[in-house]
Each structure stands twice: as structure tokens, then as C-alpha cells.
Amino acid sequence: MSMFEDIPVEVGVIYEGERVRKNDMQVELGGPKVKEKFELAKVRPMEAVEDGKVTIIGPDLKDIPEGSVVPFGIIVETAGPTLDAGLEGVIERRIHGYLNYIEGFMHLNQRYDIWMRLNKKSFQKGLNSFGYLGKVLYRLFKSELSIIEKVQITFITDPAKITEKFSEAVADYEARDAKARGLKDEEVDKVYGCVLCQSFAPSHVCVITPQRYSNCGAISWFDGKASASIDPKGPVFAIERGELINAEKGEFSGVNETVKKRSMGDVNKVWLYTAFDYPHTSCGCFEAIAFYIPEVDGLGVVHRNFKGVTVNGLPFSTLADSAAGGRQVDGFHGMSIEYMRSKKFFAADGGWNRIVWLPKEIKERVKEFIPADVVDKIATEENATNTDDLKAFLKDKNHPIVERWVEETAVEEAPAEEAQIEDQTMPVMTASSLPITAGGFKIILKDAKIYANKVIIKTLKDEKAK
């Protein structure tokens, strides 16, 4: 590729899904071990941007000791006569795709969650300065988004400078999200799809509606619209919503058709407002994940930066693994934090009345969007660290979920307490990609169907009683 002749490693789409493992890494930029990290795009006046300028504040790649983990910030400043601030989210999300084109470089997540690694091989080939990353970004922005006339890029590794810019970036994200609130799903004919994550999650199609942000939390409906208009052949595209099939669950004919096509037939049906049956698929970069807690018939939510284990004894990473990769898993739902501020947030499941546990940090962040009559009834890690405590807490606070327990007891008086299906071998579980972790190995079964000679269906109450 002649466009990148002066870059010491190759640059191309084929490197997009590449992972850099810990043992191969020269340096880690941002990531879970670092508190402050960010990437931010800004649209500036023409005279405020010097086209092609790359600035490095703090140690450059060659000055960072091998194996280090460092705080990191990227600021992409752009200008153009028809460019406006409404495109900042779209420009910013492209950083992910473009940096992943670089051989031996991995970019995950977005905004304040960014996590990058450079491998030793590419470093040894000469990729030893952020200057090269700047050149790649600069050329791709200019060639792929013609609306951008000028770009300047700043890389920051200096901790003091990161702290200063981090709070500015967080305020910017919040302002952007606030601007996107208000429009309702019912008010639009078009929604947007995003396949930016398909390099890591092949069957994933993000469906972005006014009241449902992308899983990564970086693309609103307005961003989707802007992106599709400036780059219609790009990874973000318009979806004709089509006929409303199920208003409660959030099922639309146009969404189903597009998801089916774009997931190569892996996913045929998506319900946008529920975590059950046909939930939205989960990519790999979702900000948080909702998980069903059968003991209390409620949903817990945990975000990527939560360090401990959740109320069911599992950390974010394990819960994330059980749904990631573009799968549709009943009771699991990778999602954005912004979705928690939406009126459609698990609306079909009872909305906030179904949420029983979430980390304190997230509860604080979304507090004003939680209905006042339930906010104090939702447990955090300070109230419950296991499901027994959780159950006691919910009962004590009279969380709306408690009503569901009563209903279930009534249903249970019905005769059949255990159903057995024995006469034929039937598939009990199907999955397009099923990871099994055992003894230090990870085995991934593609298009798996698991058969059993006998299926026993029990209600959870029976199990408890024994």
C-alpha cells in the first residue's frame, strides 16, 4: 500500500481483528490497569488547526520501558467548511478502526475505556514513535472522510496532562450524550446499524435507535445519521425500520431483515427492549452487561471498570465472555451506560423495576434517571455481595421484584412440578460460537448444537426446596 510506504509496518484491513497478548506486548496504553485514559475528537475553526501536525506530550514509544502500562490520551482536532460539532462522535469512533489497521497494534473500546497494545515485533520493525500512528490516522481520516479538510493529532502520555484533559473529555462526552436525549424511537422511520465490531464479533450488528445507543456508548442515533450521510458505504448505515411487529419487545421488520443479512443469517430476530429470548447481540466493547439473577428473578448490571466480583460471584470479564462475540444469549445483554438513561431501558422486562443490583459507581452516574420510588431499593456491592444477602435486602426494602416472587408461588400450585422429555434425543442448546474454558485452554465450538438424551426442566423454587 503506497499510501503507507514510510510506515515501518503494514497497514491494512487484514490486521483489524488482530489481538496482542500480554507476553507479546511492547507497551500497553490505557486499559483496565489505568484510571485515566481517553480519546476525543473535536471540530475546531479552520484557523485553529494546522493540517498534518502531530504533537506528542510526554514520553514517546521508544522512551517507554518494554512491558510498561501507561496512561494515554489521543485528541483528534479537525476542521472543514461543512464540518460541525455534531460529527465529533463519528470522527472519534473511527480512531478505533484506523488504529486497528496497523500491523501489531490493537485498539479496544472507546472514550474513557480505551485499551491499546503494541506488539514487540512491530516495535522492533521500527514502529517506535507515536508519530507513525499520527501519520496513519491523518491519512485515513483525510482519504476516507472527505468532509475533513484539516486534521491535527495529539498523543499524551504525561500523567499530569492526561488528568487535565481527562476531565474536559468526560464533560464533552456528557454534553454530547445529553444533546442526543429526547427523541423517541416511535418518531423516526430510519434507525442505524453499525458493523464496526465485526472484525472481533462476526455476527454482531449494532442497532442504534434514538433510545438505544450503540453497545459501546459512543454512537447515538444522531451520530449514526451523520456517519451514514458523510460515508454511506462505511461501517454505519441506515436501516428502514419497517413494520412494527411487537411494540412491547421492540421488534421491527426492517431491523430483523437487516440484522439477518449483515450477520450472514446468524441472527434472525432482535428484540430491542428486553434481555430475554431474542436480546440484542453483544459485541466485545460494550460498556456494561446486564445479567439475569435467577435466585431473585431480577437483572444485575456491571460495568467494564468494576474491579470486584458481582453479586453472583462473577467478575465483569466472565460475564462479558458469556455473551461477547456477537452472540444472542438469553438473559445476557451487553450495552451502553447511556441506555440506562433511556425510557426504553429493558422496558419489556419491567425497566428499572427489574434491576436489582449494580455497582455504586454506576448507580451514582445514572441516579437521576432511576425512578425515585425504586432507586433506594436497588442493591450495590455495599448492600449485597451474594444472592442470599441480595434476597434479604430486596425483601427488606420491598423492591418491586418481590411482587414477582409472590406471583410465582401462586403459579407453582399448578400440578406439573417437573416435566421430563425422554423419548427422543433433542438439541438442548445451540450457539454460533460457544467458548469453553478449561485447564488453561479455551476451546471455541463454532455452530455448536449440544444433544441430550433427557431434559429435565425444573423451576428454581423446586431446586431451592431440596
- The smaller minimum CB distance to Zn ion, of residues 30 and 351, is found at 30
Candidates 14-22, 128-136, 168-176, 192-200 — which segment interacts with Zn ion by CB under 5 A?
A: 192-200
Cα atoms in the Cβ-side hemisphere of radius 13 Å centred on 210: 14
Contact 208, 219 (CB under 8 A): yes
- The smaller minimum CB distance to Zn ion, of residues 70 and 283, is found at 283
How far is 273 from 370, CA to CA, in rounded Å? Answer: 17
Contact 104, 119 (CB under 8 A): yes
- Minimum distance from residue 68 beta carbon to Zn ion (Å): 27
- Minimum distance from residue 103 beta carbon to Zn ion (Å): 22
Q: Return the H-helix or E-strand segment holding 355.
A: strand 355-357
Q: Please name which of 285, 366, 294 lies closest in space to residue 320, comparing C-alpha atoms.
A: 285
How far is 331 from 350, CA to CA, in rounded Å? Answer: 14
Candidates 224-232, 239-247, 275-283, 302-310 — which segment interacts with Zn ion by CB under 5 A?
A: 275-283
Contact 282, 265 (CB under 8 A): no
* Residues in contact with 141: Cβ distance below 8 Å, sequence separation at least 6, in sequence order: 76, 78, 91, 94, 98, 148, 151
The residue behind cell 520493525 is 125
Q: Please name which of 310, 317, 325 lies closest in space to residue 267, comparing C-alpha atoms.
A: 325
Helix (H, G, I), strand (E, B) or coil at 431: strand
- Judged on CB neighbours under 10 Å (0-12, 13-18, 19+), 85 is middle
- Minimum distance from residue 258 beta carbon to Zn ion (Å): 17
Candidates 16-24, 94-102, 209-217, 452-460 — which segment interacts with Zn ion by CB under 5 A?
A: 209-217
Contact 33, 72 (CB under 8 A): no
CB atoms within 10 A of CB 407: 10
- The smaller minimum CB distance to Zn ion, of residues 116 and 216, is found at 216
Q: Is 285 one of the binding residues for Zn ion (CB under 5 A)?
A: yes
How far is 244 from 242, CA to CA, in rounded Å? Answer: 7
For CA atoms 136, 138, 139, 140, the dihedral sign is positive
- Minimum distance from residue 264 beta carbon to Zn ion (Å): 17
298 to 327, contacts with Zn ion by CB under 5 A? none
- Minimum distance from residue 92 beta carbon to Zn ion (Å): 14
- Minimum distance from residue 289 beta carbon to Zn ion (Å): 12
Candidates 56-64, 197-205, 344-352, 391-399 — which segment interacts with Zn ion by CB under 5 A?
A: 197-205
Q: Given candidates 216, 228, 230, 394, which one binds Zn ion under the rule CB under 5 A? A: 216
Q: Is 27 one of the binding residues for Zn ion (CB under 5 A)?
A: no
Candidates 29-37, 84-92, 118-126, 214-222 — which segment interacts with Zn ion by CB under 5 A?
A: 214-222
- The smaller minimum CB distance to Zn ion, of residues 283 and 340, is found at 283
Q: How many residues bind Zn ion (CB under 5 A)?
A: 4
Q: Is 283 one of the binding residues for Zn ion (CB under 5 A)?
A: yes
- Minimum distance from residue 216 beta carbon to Zn ion (Å): 5
- The smaller minimum CB distance to Zn ion, of residues 180 and 401, is found at 180
- The smaller minimum CB distance to Zn ion, of residues 100 and 154, is found at 100
Contact 31, 69 (CB under 8 A): yes
Candidates 278-286, 316-324, 325-333, 353-361 — which segment interacts with Zn ion by CB under 5 A?
A: 278-286
Q: Is 293 one of the binding residues for Zn ion (CB under 5 A)?
A: no
- Minimum distance from residue 219 beta carbon to Zn ion (Å): 9
CA angle 67/73/75 to nearest 5° reads 145
Q: Return the H-helix or E-strand segment holding 108.
A: strand 105-108
Contact 392, 431 (CB under 8 A): no
Q: Which residues pair with 282 in a beta bridge?
A: 327
Q: Return the H-helix or E-strand segment holding 162.
A: helix 159-180
Q: Is 205 one of the binding residues for Zn ion (CB under 5 A)?
A: no
Candidates 32-40, 210-218, 260-268, 455-463 — which segment interacts with Zn ion by CB under 5 A?
A: 210-218
Q: Given candidates 90, 197, 299, 348, which one binds Zn ion under the rule CB under 5 A? A: 197
- Minimum distance from residue 283 beta carbon to Zn ion (Å): 3
- The smaller minimum CB distance to Zn ion, of residues 136 and 216, is found at 216
Residues 231-270 as x/- pattern, contact with Zn ion by CB under 5 A: ----------------------------------------
- The smaller minimum CB distance to Zn ion, of residues 9 and 320, is found at 320
Binding site for Zn ion (CB under 5 A): 197, 216, 283, 285
